[in-house]
Amino acid sequence: MSAPTLILASQSPRRAELIGRLGLEFATIPADIDESYRNGENPDEHAERLAREKAAHVARSHPEALVIGSDTIVVLGQEVLGKPRDCAHAVEMLERLAGREHEVHTGIAIVQGERVESGMERVRVRFRPLDRGACEAYAATGEPLDKAGAYGIQGFGSAIVEGITGDYFAVMGLPVVRMLGLIERFGWRYRFGAWERV
C-alpha cells in the first residue's frame, strides 16, 4: 500500500525540519496568499484561516496530496506581534516581551481536494528579564528578523525563553501531534517513519 503524498505549503525551514524529523517524505510548495487581518478577526481565527488558505491554495494544483498549512501568531496582551521590519523593530519587540508572558497561536490545516480539516494550538511562553544590550545582541544575530514576535525558540532564542505551557513544536511553527491527528481523519495513521491505513 503506497504512502500518502505529503506537501508542506510553507517555505519555513523550521516546519520542514519538523516533518523531516518524523522520517517522512514530503515536498515543499510555498503558498502565496494575502495574510492581512479581516475586520473583527481574533488571533485564533486568523491563524487557523491562514493555515487553511495556505493548504487550499496548494491543494488546488495537487488534489490527491495531503497538503499541510500552518500559521503562527505571537500575542502580547491584546496586541499581535508580527515579523519585525528591521533590527531596531526587533529590539523594540524583545524589550516589550522581556520578563513577561505572551501567547503563541498556531493554526494547522490538512487539505485534500475539497476536504479541509483544521485546528489550533495556543501556548503560553515566558521570557526571562532582558536588558537592552541583550535585546540588541540577539537582534544582531539576524535570527529574529523572519519570525513572528522577533524570536525563535529553537535557536539563540532558547537562551531567553524561561518556560512554556503547551506544545513546544507549536511555538516552532508546527504542532506535530495535532497535525498527525488531523491526517488520521483522512485515513492514515503515523507509525514512526511510516504510514498505515486506519
For 132-168, give the DSSP string.
Answer: HHHHHHHHHTSGGGGSGGG--TTTGGGGTEEEEES-H
For 61-77, what is the mean pLDDT?
Answer: 96
Cell triple for residue 31? Answer: 503558498
Catalytic residue (choose from 71, 86, 146, 167) = 71
C-alpha closest to that of 57 among 41, 45, 71 = 71
pLDDT score at 36: 86
For 144-156, what is the mean pLDDT?
Answer: 93
How far apart CA 191 and CA 183 sit, in angstroms, is 12
Residue recorded with cell 519585525? 84
**Domains in the chain, CATH or no CATH each:** 6-197 (3.90.950.10)
pLDDT score at 132: 97
For 84-103, what is the mean pLDDT?
Answer: 97
Task: Say whether pTM exceeds 0.85.
Answer: yes
- State the CB neighbour count (10 A cutoff) for residue 22: 15
Q: Is the pLDDT of residue 100 over 80?
A: yes
Tell me if 37 sits within 8 A of 50, measured CB to CB. no
Asked if 34 is an active-site residue, the reply is no
pLDDT band at 173 (very low <50, low <70, confident <90, very high): very high
Tell me if 110 sits within 8 A of 55, measured CB to CB. yes
Mind listing the pLDDT tens digit for each residue in 42-53?
A: 999 999 999 999
Cell triple for residue 197? Answer: 491505513
Distances (CA, A) of 172 to 13, 14, 21: 10, 7, 13
User: β-strands 27-28, 6-8: how paired?
Assistant: parallel
For 152-169, what is the mean pLDDT?
Answer: 96
Mind listing the pLDDT tens digit for each residue in 104-124?
A: 999 999 999 999 999 999 999
Rg of the chain on CA atoms, in Å: 17
pLDDT band at 35 (very low <50, low <70, confident <90, very high): confident
